[in-house]
A and B are shown apart, each in its own frame.
Chain A
Amino acid sequence: MRSFIYRLTVILPAFFAPYAESEGSHVRPPDFIKNCSQLRVSQDCAKTMSSVFDAHGRLWSAWVNGQYLYVNYSDDKGLTFSQAVKVNVVAEKIAAGREHRPKIKVSDAGLVFLSWTKKLAKRFTGDIRFSRSVDGGKSFTVPVTVNDNREIISHRFDVLGVNKKGDIYISWLDKRDKQKAARENQEYNGAAVYFSASFNGGKSFIENKKIADNSCECCRMAMDFDQQDLPVISWRHIYGDNIRDHSMVNFKNKMEADKPYRLSYDNWKIKGCPHHGPSISIDKHNVYHAVWFNNAEKRHGIFYANSHDKGKTFSSTLKIGNYANKASHADILAVNKQVYIVWQEYLHPRYKMFMQKSADKGNNWDEPVLIAETSGTPDYPFLLTDGQAVFASWHIPGQTYRLILLR
């Protein structure tokens, strides 16, 4: 009961309280920190979590415990969840880090799709896996490998998208070209961006196609769909001598990616792993909205920009969050004319989630609002919509899941 009351408080609209809840307040139940070592299968104890609303407002969630991927759902906005269903019956090592977690999407027809990276025997290697449910999440198909190159190399950092027609796109970072270059004693910096797609609900996938060479190799990717229902994909790219900025690509048609273009010009030079991927969202007026993080000497922090011409030009950048407080890992969601951004900051000893909102397609922005905080070590914050309202989703391993209604 106490847990139920607590959970009710977390979905209180941010409109009515400066932040919906804070650990240490009177609503915190004594079992707030779960003993994860004693729980066999628990969503709350997973390192990371991915969530999505389906067309009927059901909240679906995918997470990893041990060597299994699980899916469950909530019909009461995250207060309670159904019993978890195991996706892969045969155990496999599944990447579940913050930049490379399993992804879940649900088509308008109610099919549930999952993609993830299966870790292979050697360090930094993996295969892109896919499974689907056609019976409302009661069971899942035997996972298939989507990458058609089967060398024990890196095919990792998958991103999954499903459009209104139910077409499925998976894109990922792939080192087959780097491997080929090594065999030919050639230099190859970073990885390549590949994609595949399914136009029959996930029964089969088209052959893998390359989008770009020389992507950065350990940052999450982002995908959304434009008003023609074609994918738009963004990733961190390597320009010149290890300048790691962001790229985007539109699709010419459902089978073919166009030429990638540059999204950010912060010139972060780093021969290493930023572990900070971008986020994009396309509104119904076909305006592209993007957030990313860079840490160049002159230009650092979270940046926002939008494009009204399919990425040909972008607005001047807006700085988001407080760099001094480690503002990072932003997510963006555009719903009608409203654009939301959430991100995390760290003010010793607590992580805080902030939100900033625009009511006019990103032209003007409200002041940042503190949404939630914790002394735990949280997963990244994400934005979700059930078609009516917008929510911030925050998973903190060992604590109760937080879904916070935003106004």
Chain B
Amino acid sequence: MKNLTSVLFILLLPVSYNAVAQQSFIKTFYPGSYTKLLENNKGSEFTLLFWSVDCPPCLEKLKLISKTRMYAKQKFVFVSTDGDEMLADVAAVVKQMNLEQQAHWVFKSGLNQEIINSVDSNWYGEVPRNYYFNKNHQRTRLQELKLKQ
């Protein structure tokens, strides 16, 4: 019986590894990740978009970005506020929107408030939340996303 369990474990290992690997394009966003993200994008202009799988207007926004290929003209970084316990759901939405080639993060579960505070002390978790960063990383909150001409 023990042998059978071991065989099954070995056989199923690549399957579960593959499931994780398929979602591994999504990084985990910790309280320090915001600073890291800015450092990694030093000198470049980009839009940071916080969204949730539980937010119909967020999905409309992702759909718009995908449909108009907005990302071809401007850089986007997407961060899901759902928590990494929802990673499979987040990955499913990203794939459904054909946005898996973009930069994606998901909040570390249980640290939402700390992460939110690390980004913007006036933010209460409402989504979507968009910020535009110019090359000097001056931040502007965007009510609406605009297609760059």
A residues touching B (Cβ–Cβ < 8 Å)?
Answer: 97, 123-124, 217-218, 269-276, 293, 295, 300, 324, 326, 328, 346, 348-349, 351, 377
Which segment of B65-73, B117-125, B131-139 sits at the interface? B117-125
Among A123, A217, A328, A351, the residue within 8 A (CB) of B124 is: A328
Whether the pair A295, B144 counts as a contact (CB closer than 8 A) is no
CB distance from B108 to the nearest CB of A (A): 11
Q: Is the CB of A346 within 8 A of B56?
A: no
| 6 tightest A-B CB contacts, nearest first | A273-B55, A346-B113, A274-B126, A272-B57, A377-B110, A272-B128
Taking a contact as CB atoms under 8 Å apart, the answer to whether B126 and A275 are in contact is: yes
- C-alpha spacing A272/B129, complex, angstroms: 8
B47 within 8 A of A: no
Question: Are A124's CB and B56's CB within 8 A?
Answer: yes
Other 15 A-B pairs with CB < 8 A, given A123-B53, A273-B52 = A123-B93, A218-B56, A271-B143, A272-B58, A273-B55, A275-B126, A276-B124, A295-B126, A300-B122, A326-B113, A326-B117, A346-B114, A351-B113, A377-B110, A377-B113
Structural contact, A326 and B124, CB atoms closer than 8 A: yes
> Counting CB contacts under 8 A, is B39 at the interface?
no
Name B124's closest neighbour in chain A (CB-CB): A295
Contact in complex: A273, B117 (CB < 8 Å) = no
Name 5 A/B residue pairs within 8 A (Cβ), A-sorted.
A218-B55, A272-B55, A273-B58, A273-B127, A274-B126
**Complex contact B124–A377 (CB within 8 A):** no
Please, which residue of chain A has its CB at the minimum distance from the CB of B51?
Answer: A272
- Whole-angstrom distance between the Cβ of B60 and the nearest chain A Cβ: 9
Minimum CB–CB distance for B137 against chain A, Å: 22
Query: Which size bracket describes the interface of B in this complex?
Result: 20 to 34
> Could you tell me the dominant secondary structure of chain A's interface residues?
loop
* Contact (Cβ within 8 A) B56 A273: yes
Q: Is the CB of A275 within 8 A of B125?
A: yes
CA distance A300 to B114 in the complex (A): 20
CB-based contact A346/B124 at 8 Å: no
B54 x A97 contact (CB < 8 A)? yes
B112 at the interface (CB under 8 A from A): yes
Complex CA distance for A349 and B117, rounded to whole angstroms: 11
Contacts of B122 on A, CB cut-off 8 Å?
Answer: 295, 300
Q: How far is the CB of B112 from chain A (nearest CB, A)?
A: 7
Complex CA gap A346/B110 in Å reads: 13
Q: How far is the CA of A231 from the CA of B125 in the complex (A)?
A: 31
Check A346–B126 contact: CB distance below 8 A: no
Least distance between B2 CB and chain A CB atoms (Å): 22
CA of A15 to CA of B121, assembled, Å: 33
Q: Given A124-B56, A271-B144, A276-B124, check contact A377 B114 (CB 8 Å).
A: no
Which residues in A have their C-beta under 8 angstroms from that of B121? 324
The complex places the Cα of A1 from the Cα of B76 at a distance, in Å, of 55
Contact, CB under 8 Å: B113 / A293: no
Chain A residues with CB under 8 Å of B143's CB are: 269, 271
Closest residue on chain B to residue A217 by CB atoms: B56
In the bound complex, residues from chain B placing their C-beta under 8 Å from that of A273 are 52, 54-58, 126-127
A residues near B117, Cβ cutoff 8 Å: 326, 346, 348
Minimum CB distance partner of B144 in chain A: A271
Known A-B contacts A124-B56, A218-B56, A273-B57; A349 and B114 likewise in contact (beta carbons under 8 Å): yes
Q: Which residue of A lies closest to B53 (CB)?
A: A123
CB distance from B52 to the nearest CB of A (A): 7
Nearest opposing residue in chain B for A95, CB measure: B54
